[in-house]
Amino acid sequence: MPHELLDADVQGPIAVLRLNRPDKRNALSDGLVLELRRAFESLPASVRAVVLCARGEHFCAGLDLGELRERDPGQGLLHSRMWHQALDAIQYGSAPVIAALHGAVVGGGLELAAACHVRVADETAYYALPEGARGIFVGGGGSVRIPKLIGAARMTDMMLTGRVYGAAEGERAGFAQYLVPPGAAFQRAMELAERVIGNAPLSNYAITQALPRIAEQAADHGYLTEALMTAVTQSAPDARQRVRDFLEGRAARVSLPPSHSPQPEPGDKP
């Protein structure tokens, strides 16, 4: 997968894609957006998870304003739709995508992160939507995806007032599912990718493809779609073997991680 603005490294079943415009804070040019689309549309069949990260001090500082030019309404519409197609290729591609976030996750960078399925942020990450102050509007699907993460009221506040969320506050708000020390986002993302590739492939497909669509359906339609996906995934030979392994004691049971176990109160007897 040759690219100029995007580094691609396939490590067995995991593909690592790195934004490679560090001198531009990985701002999204049209060229980079198109490379992202091509990369996700041409993933090898062997790839079962993707880690999306970035070189330099920032994940992505948003749209490359140096490319912003006057467009008539029709041209602007088509340009936005080009971004939609690229980010749809991430969300609805062939493999779950885990984003490793650090530094600026701003504007179009936040739209890009929102298209991923899991987001790991380190403590240097911060989130903003400065489009309102610049007289523009989100155009990469952010008005659809970001409210599903943080709610429409928070997004409205960010765009109207320029509010910036730091890493810890952002994790509580829903921008990321994991918060790690500085420099640790990529390693944690790779660990999660290793867990993802251990799942049944058809289950991963149902989770990334059907679940977001079910969330948009009326309840009675969602129930039917859920039932259909349940029937399909359960009928796969891999799923049948995994259930047998569990019933016969060959699979690990769900338990609370040691770090979350209740700690004894002072004075409690051992």
| 153-183 confidence digits (pLDDT tens) | 999 999 999 999 999 999 999 999 999 999 9
Question: Which member of 131, 216, 226, 248 is catalytic?
Answer: 131
Question: Which member of 4, 67, 111, 248 is catalytic?
Answer: 111
Q: Is 32 helix (H, G, I), strand (E, B) or coil?
A: helix
Strand partners, 99: 52, 119
Q: Tell me which fold the domain 6-197 belongs to.
A: 2-enoyl-CoA Hydratase; Chain A, domain 1 (3.90.226)
Which strands, in side-by-side order, build the sheet including 126-128?
A: 104-106, 126-128, 165-166
Domains 6-197 and 201-251 share a fold: no
pLDDT for residue 34 is more than 90: yes
Q: Which amino acid is at 208?
A: T
Is 226 labeled as catalytic in the residue annotation?
A: no
Average pLDDT value over all residues in the chain: 91
- CATH number, span 201-251: 1.10.12.10
User: Quick one: what percent of the chain has pLDDT higher than 70?
Assistant: 89
For position 134, what pLDDT does the model report?
A: 86
* Distance from C-alpha of 71 to C-alpha of 54, rounded to nearest angstrom: 30
For position 58, what pLDDT does the model report?
A: 98
* Distance from C-alpha of 27 to C-alpha of 81, rounded to nearest angstrom: 18
Alpha helices in 66-107 (DSSP H): 73-91
For position 247, what pLDDT does the model report?
A: 59
Is 111 labeled as catalytic in the residue annotation?
A: yes
Instruction: Enumerate the domain spans of the chain.
Output: 6-197, 201-251
